[in-house]
Amino acid sequence: MKEKTIILTGNPNTGKTTLFNALTGLHQKTGNWPGVTVEIKEGHFIHGDTRFTVIDLPGTYSLTSFTEDEKIARDILVRKQADAVIVVVDATNLERNMYLVTLMMELEQNVVVAVNMYDLAMEKGISVNTEELEKMMGIPFVRTVANRNEGISRLRDLISGEGRKPKTGAGSINYGKEIEEAISGIVSKLKDFTTPYPLRFLATRLIEKDPEFTAMFEGKDTFADIKNITGKLDREYPEIENTMIEKRYGFIHGMVEECTRRETRLEEKIQLTARLDKLFTHSLSGSLIFLFFMWFTFQAVFTLGGPFAGILHFLFSIAGSWTGKILFAAALPEWIISLLTDGIISGVGAVIIFLPNIFLLFFIFAALEDTGYIARAAFVTDRIMHRVGLHGKSAIPMLLGFGCNVPAIMATRTLETRKDRIITILALPFMSCSARLPVYLLFTGIFFKHNQGTVLFSLYIIGIIAGMLTAWIFKNAFFRKESSHIIMELPPYHPPEIKGMLISAWAKSCLFLRKAGTMIFAGVVLIWFLSYFPLSASFASRESFTGMIGSLLAPLLKPAGFGSWQAGVALLSGLVAKELVVGTFGTVLGGTDGMSAALSLLFTPVSAYSFMLMTLLYVPCVATVAVIKQEAGTRWALISALWSILAGWLTATAFYQAARLFF
């Protein structure tokens, strides 16, 4: 079987990821704001006698890299010699999207253009003459509606033919006399130079002062000649980079005008989007709506998820009790019975019962993404974000952080400056991820039965405030002079697709389940082992290894109100994964049933809230620290870990000591 590689590229928000899913059958997250694909995704499909590997790149507007994810996309597009490139363009906004197509043509790649979301274009009264576009550009075009699988089979056929290299002359841009002369001059100087890139493409990059391509020639004999040519051009066109972009857009404009037809139906939808924008992005109403959505989300997680969590709780209690009886009747050794019932079922069960709440959280976030609201949230928060040294666009990774801090930190690649990335990365661990939710649900269920939603909401708000304060402190300490502003394309509002939301929420819930089956499983087995030994001690007693470790930590935690060894060991295991806090309580306090009674003896409402504050603020998990190291370096990973432990302890202690004066 032959092997071929296809690259999938396109502007953000063109349905590229949906098309990737349609081509490969893989399900992955699709969002409705720029920059959703922060990692390179690969998928496969077989067509005829060929196995195709499809690489889904982060959305990009051009080959000029502003952000880290655009840089990733550009590097792969420029360096990877794929058999073909599929450029996904939004049929409703052809002119802006075709810019990337012209760059791909300059790269002389085998290109197939998927004119996607064609159904929306038709709804808006836009029709695209793809046959005419093919003639003018010399490359194949296919109309697709990826979410309905329309056009996918023809797209596969076209890819099998490896797309088409643009014919000389067809679709090539004439930059005007002076620039064309400069291009020819540079091309003649590069003739003896061995390079994988087309010479005309190289020449345009050098004229546009692309630092990466300029560096390739610096110090070489030809560099002075090239500089001489570009220098002359600079005198003629002081903003040559913009001039080149303008020429490309000029070419595209003429072509799109000829190949598209518009009826006036578009206006109504634009008016609706404008009216909604006025409401959703207004300083006052926008902020109130943003806060309402957050409050509603956490209330819904509780009120709708609670009954389902209760059912799971009941099932795990029965499973634990029956398993114990069956194993006892089978006369298995006592330690096996203890491992299965006290360790695995109690520990893992204590975490899994919160699956319905976590599913709901991701489902609601998927809805907010899908409607296009999240991009607006970035603008709503921009002003306040700026005050503390963050960027409005930081709101997107921060909102993602409520799901999981790890992808959220990777999503900071959509930010344009290193300063914005570092500050956002330092603030992100304070965004209360779903792994912390089981801890809150457990404690609020015991100590704050009548106002669980409000207590939960307060924790999320405190997390946001801690993140903001962190940003403000580090901005003033390390990045005082730097400043950047927000410019973002806003996707139109549309109703969310229930199927897509379910897929997105389920995919993320599966990650939670996988974590429960691996990391949390291993963690609870370890905690069981430490609780079971030495044999001279009773299970999970102060004399067990767990008790000894917890007892070492307890004095440090006493000022914060939770100086028991059980709390100490739970927080220690929470460093691995926050769900393990609950898993550990489940193991050392006698499973889902015994745990609630034991916790109400160990904690008071004040110390319970203090414990939740600590859980909220100290290091989210080792995976988060590892990804901070990967994205920002060891120094920032260490700073983040130490800072969050300190913030957690100080906040919990301050709260407990102050609250004790009143309660």
Partner 1 sequence: MLKLSEAHNGKYMIVRIDPACQGAKKRLTTLGIFVGDEIEITKPAPGPVIFKKGGTSVGVGHGIAMHISVTPSDRGKAA
What residue ranges bind partner 1 (CB under 8 A)?
61-62, 64, 66, 90, 92-96, 99, 241-242, 245-246, 249, 270, 273-274, 277-278, 281-283, 286, 375-376, 378-380, 382-383, 386, 392, 416, 483-492
Comparing CB distances to partner 1, the nearer of 61 and 197 is 61
CA-wise closest residue to 94 among 206, 254, 211: 254
Contact 612, 427 (CB under 8 A): no
CA atoms of 314 and 306, how far apart (whole Å): 12
> What's the first-to-final CA gap in the chain, in angstroms?
73
CA atoms of 496 and 422, how far apart (whole Å): 33
Comparing CB distances to partner 1, the nearer of 99 and 448 is 99
Comparing CB distances to partner 1, the nearer of 270 and 465 is 270
Comparing CB distances to partner 1, the nearer of 101 and 455 is 101
| Shortest CB 99 distance to partner 1, Å | 7
| Shortest CB 245 distance to partner 1, Å | 5
CA-wise closest residue to 460 among 441, 433, 439, 438: 433
CA atoms of 105 and 127, how far apart (whole Å): 24
| Shortest CB 492 distance to partner 1, Å | 7
| Shortest CB 304 distance to partner 1, Å | 32
CA atoms of 153 and 59, how far apart (whole Å): 23
Comparing CB distances to partner 1, the nearer of 285 and 541 is 285
Angle, helices 591-602 vs 565-573, to 10°: value is: 120
Contact 608, 443 (CB under 8 A): yes
Residue 430: CB atoms within 10 A of its CB come to 28
Comparing CB distances to partner 1, the nearer of 77 and 567 is 77
- Fill in the amino acid letter for 202: L
Comparing CB distances to partner 1, the nearer of 258 and 334 is 258
| Shortest CB 37 distance to partner 1, Å | 18
> Helix, strand, or coil here: 264?
coil
Burial class (CB in 10 A: 0-12, 13-18, 19+), 398: buried
Report residue 284 as tokens: 């006052």
| Shortest CB 286 distance to partner 1, Å | 6
Burial class (CB in 10 A: 0-12, 13-18, 19+), 268: exposed
| Shortest CB 261 distance to partner 1, Å | 14
Comparing CB distances to partner 1, the nearer of 242 and 538 is 242
| Shortest CB 277 distance to partner 1, Å | 5
Length of the chain: 663
Comparing CB distances to partner 1, the nearer of 134 and 416 is 416
All residues at 6 or more sequence positions from 291 whose CB lies less than 8 Å from its CB, including other chains = none
CA atoms of 236 and 366, how far apart (whole Å): 50
CA atoms of 161 and 299, how far apart (whole Å): 53
Report residue 625 as tokens: 């620290």
| Shortest CB 121 distance to partner 1, Å | 9
Comparing CB distances to partner 1, the nearer of 106 and 342 is 106
Whose structure tokens read 């540079």? 186
Comparing CB distances to partner 1, the nearer of 41 and 248 is 248
* Strands 50-56 and 41-47, bridge-based pairing: antiparallel
> Helix, strand, or coil here: 145?
strand
> Helix, strand, or coil here: 124?
coil
Q: Side by side, which strands form the sheet with 50-56?
A: 41-47, 50-56, 2-10, 84-90, 111-116, 141-143
Comparing CB distances to partner 1, the nearer of 422 and 627 is 422
| Shortest CB 62 distance to partner 1, Å | 5
| Shortest CB 444 distance to partner 1, Å | 34
| Shortest CB 401 distance to partner 1, Å | 21
Comparing CB distances to partner 1, the nearer of 398 and 625 is 398
DSSP 529-577: HHHH-STTSPTTSTTSHHHHHHHHHHHHHGGGT---HHHHHHHHHTTT-
Q: If you ran DSSP here, which 8-state letter would residue 392 be given?
A: G
| Shortest CB 101 distance to partner 1, Å | 13
- Bond preceding residue 555 cis, omega within 30 of 0: no
